[in-house]
Amino acid sequence: AQTVTQSQPEMSVQEAETVTLSCTYDTSENNYYLFWYKQPPSRQMILVIRQEAYKQQNATENRFSVNFQKAAKSFSLKISDSQLGDTAMYFCAFMKLSGTASKLTFGTGTRLQVTL
Amino acid sequence: ETGVTQTPRHLVMGMTNKKSLKCEQHLGHNAMYWYKQSAKKPLELMFVYSLEERVENNSVPSRFSPECPNSSHLFLHLHTLQPEDSALYLCASSLQSGGGSTDTQYFGPGTRLTVL
């Protein structure tokens, strides 16, 4: 079974600064996907970024980028130029590839507060 | 707006009531999921439907009964619930392609359920 660990329950960052959220996972699979989702106070779960394990290049989406270290089973999220709207719970998730349906395993989340 | 809608957004019910949660996706996906999100716990996968067939049931009590009449709609029928079933219930959908990049899950806004 896969496990996903987010060791930072809460973090705070000032507006315009950079913050990095940590995530580690445990799996015996070689092919898989990793995701970061954000859940703002509205409770809507929103996809932030996705990384395919077979790709060596780190994924980027505007101000969001990841540091994917496959050997270390680490998948951190960097948010640059933080904005107030980035305040949310951030969940790291692992997806094992399956022929029938994709199944996500989530971490417990990191609550990020962006302050003025 | 992710293309996945859920109704109702809030529901309060007694332990003897029968109610249903509805999820609809407008993304042309062929797999749908129910998750339970309780306070201070990781998201728990409850049910998975792929091509309208249930492919996963993660030891969910029988008081939760899913129904997937077509690839766009998913229901969760509730009866004789317990107070510990109070949680946010999230629906998601994805396009199953045998492991391609379109396996990303997109979530609805959730139904906040309170069982009295």
- Split at pLDDT 50, 70, 90, the class of B113 is very high
- Contact with chain B for residue A99, Cβ under 8 A: yes
A88 to each of A13, A27, A33, A41, A84, how far by Cα in Å?
A: 12, 27, 22, 7, 9
Contact state of A104 with B105 under an 8 Å Cβ cutoff: yes
The residue ranking higher by pLDDT, B111 or B102, is B111
Interface test with B, best of A32, A100, A105 (most B CBs within 10 A): A100
User: Which two structure tokens, joined as six digits, stand for A72?
Assistant: 């270390």
Q: What is the mean pLDDT of chain A?
A: 93
Q: Which residues of A touch B88 (CB under 8 A)?
A: 43
pLDDT tens for residues B47-94?
Answer: 998 877 777 777 899 999 999 999 999 999 999 999 999 999 999 999
The predicted-structure confidence for A24-73, as pLDDT tens digits, reads as follows 999 998 889 999 999 998 888 999 999 999 888 999 999 999 999 999 99
Task: Provide the β-strand partners of residue B53.
Answer: B50
Place of tokens 């997937």: B68
**A81-85, A104-108, B38-42 — which is least confidently predicted?**
B38-42
| Structure confidence at residue A43 (pLDDT) | 87
3-class DSSP string for chain B: CCCEEEECCEEEECCCCEEEEEEEECCCCCEEEEEEECCCCCCEEEEEEECCEEEEECCCCCCEEEEEEECCEEEEEEECCCHHHCEEEEEEEECCCCCCHHHCCEECCCEEEEEC
